[in-house]
């Protein structure tokens, strides 16, 4: 029963679409309110009348205020006008049973795809008027991608055609041109240039020889400088050795002088000891008075001889260097 009512409404809408619209705003307003009460099947007719009022300025510059008084917002009005502009009701009779969002998505599809079965990601095959809003948007994305790919392929094909045509033109031109023979021609200044080149090469060879000689001379000079540095180093080393030898010689001279001086002293002491021995043999100590200065002097002399003799004996037994 309900479907029959919808078919009656759709039939009525189709008949009305053939009727010329009124220029009387009150009449158009009444018609829109009537279609609003019918429901989604009348969206096409509402959009058609909205477009009519806007294009003919029946609201006298108050188009927005007028449709807002009909409880319509800008989004709905824009979509309804798009639906009425893009969908041909006579070729799309089932659109009367669809909602505004579905009709808008169909209206913004390429015209040739609006009644064509489409393959969905779910594997189903549906016509646009059988799809949900999500399925329609999915289909439109696929169509847009396919269109972009097709345009890219068309561009590549066009470029390839242009290149092929260019090559064909070149081949045609070569076929028309007479045969070109390659002839070697010697420039007028070739021999002079050849002679100049030879002279330049000889000059380069001479310069290279000078460079080589300079390098050899530099190497020889460097070797000489190295030998000179080595000789200087050897000379410094010899000087150091001579200095050490001179120190040793001076030490030996000093030592010899000390030895000679000691020898003289030893000789003097030996002579003194010989005299002391003669004195001791001749001296009769019993004849000396006790506590006399002579006894005291002889005693001190004997003590010194004993003390110094013992020290000298120890030094000779255990020598050390000062």
Overall average pLDDT of the 189-196 stretch = 82
Is the pLDDT at 256 greater than 60, yes or no? yes
Find, among 103, 3, 2, the residue nearest to 45 by Cα.
Answer: 103
Is the pLDDT at 220 greater than 80, yes or no? yes
pTM of the predicted model, to two decimals? Answer: 0.40
pLDDT of residue 179: 57
Conformational region of residue 39, where left means phi above 0, alpha means psi within -120 to 50, and beta covers everything else:
left
Is the pLDDT at 10 greater than 50, yes or no? no
Overall average pLDDT of the 210-236 stretch = 84
Which residues, at least 6 apart from 127, have a Cβ–Cβ distance to it below 8 Å? 115, 116, 117, 118
Give one DSSP letter per residue of 214-250, joined into a string.
HHHHHHHHHHHHHHHHHHHHHHHHHHHHHHHHHHHHH
Conformational region of residue 182, where left means phi above 0, alpha means psi within -120 to 50, and beta covers everything else:
beta
Is the pLDDT at 177 greater than 80, yes or no? no
Cβ atoms of residues 105 and 136 within 8 Å: yes
pLDDT of residue 72: 93
For the chain, the average pLDDT equals 81
Most confident region among 59-68, 142-151, 183-192 by mean pLDDT: 59-68
Higher pLDDT, 6 or 36: 36
Most confident region among 57-71, 179-193, 270-284 by mean pLDDT: 57-71
Is the pLDDT at 114 greater than 80, yes or no? yes
pLDDT of residue 71: 93
Hunting for tokens 């410094």 — which residue is that?
Answer: 236
Percent of the chain past pLDDT 90, that is, above it, reads 20
Is the pLDDT at 254 greater than 70, yes or no? yes
Overall average pLDDT of the 169-188 stretch = 68
pLDDT band at 2 (very low <50, low <70, confident <90, very high): very low
How far is the C-alpha of 171 from the C-alpha of 176, rounded, in Å? 9
Cβ atoms of residues 128 and 114 within 8 Å: yes
- Element containing residue 300 per DSSP (H, E): helix 293-317
How far is the C-alpha of 88 from the C-alpha of 266, rounded, in Å? 156
Model confidence pLDDT, tens digit, residues 160-170: 778 778 777 77
Overall average pLDDT of the 297-316 stretch = 84
Distance of CA 7 to the CA centre of its chain: 71
Higher pLDDT, 114 or 286: 114
For helices 43-56 and 2-17, what crossing angle results, to 10°?
30
How far is the C-alpha of 28 from the C-alpha of 31, rounded, in Å? 5
Kindly tell me the sign of the dihedral angle through the C-alpha atoms of 50, 54, 58, 61: positive
Which residues, at least 6 apart from 65, have a Cβ–Cβ distance to it below 8 Å? 59
Is the pLDDT at 76 greater than 50, yes or no? yes
């Amino acid at each position: 029963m309900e479907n029959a009512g919808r078919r009656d409404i759709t039939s009525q809408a189709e008949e009305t679409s053939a009727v010329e619209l009124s220029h009387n705003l009150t009449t158009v307003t009444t018609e829109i309110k009537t279609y609003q009460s019918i429901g989604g099947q009348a969206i096409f007719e509402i959009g058609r009348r909205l477009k009519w009022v806007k294009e003919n300025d029946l609201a006298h510059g108050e188009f927005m205020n007028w449709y807002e008084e009909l409880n319509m917002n800008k989004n709905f009005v824009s979509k309804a006008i798009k639906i009425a502009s893009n969908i041909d009701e006579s070729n799309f009779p089932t659109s009367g049973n669809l909602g505004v969002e579905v009709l808008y998505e169909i209206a913004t599809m390429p015209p040739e795809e609006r009644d064509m079965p489409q393959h969905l990601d779910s594997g189903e095959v549906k016509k646009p008027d059988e799809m949900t809003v999500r399925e329609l948007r999915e289909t439109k994305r696929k169509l847009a991608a396919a269109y972009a790919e097709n345009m890219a392929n068309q561009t590549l094909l066009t470029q390839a055609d242009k290149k092929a045509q260019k090559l064909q033109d070149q081949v045609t031109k070569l076929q028309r041109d007479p045969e070109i023979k390659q002839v070697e021609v010697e420039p007028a200044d070739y021999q002079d240039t050849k002679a100049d080149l030879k002279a330049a090469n000889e000059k380069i060879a001479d310069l290279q020889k000078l460079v080589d000689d300079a390098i050899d001379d530099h190497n020889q000079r460097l070797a000489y400088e190295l030998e000179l540095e080595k000789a200087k180093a050897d000379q410094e080393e010899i000087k150091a050795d001579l200095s050490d030898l001179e120190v040793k010689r001076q030490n030996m001279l000093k030592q010899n002088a000390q030895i000679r001086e000691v020898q003289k002293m030893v000789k003097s002491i030996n002579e003194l000891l010989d005299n002391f021995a003669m004195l001791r043999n001749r001296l009769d100590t019993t004849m000396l008075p006790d506590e006399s200065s002579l006894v005291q002097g002889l005693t001190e002399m004997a003590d010194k001889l004993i003390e110094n003799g013992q020290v000298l004996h120890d030094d000779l037994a255990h020598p050390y260097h000062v």
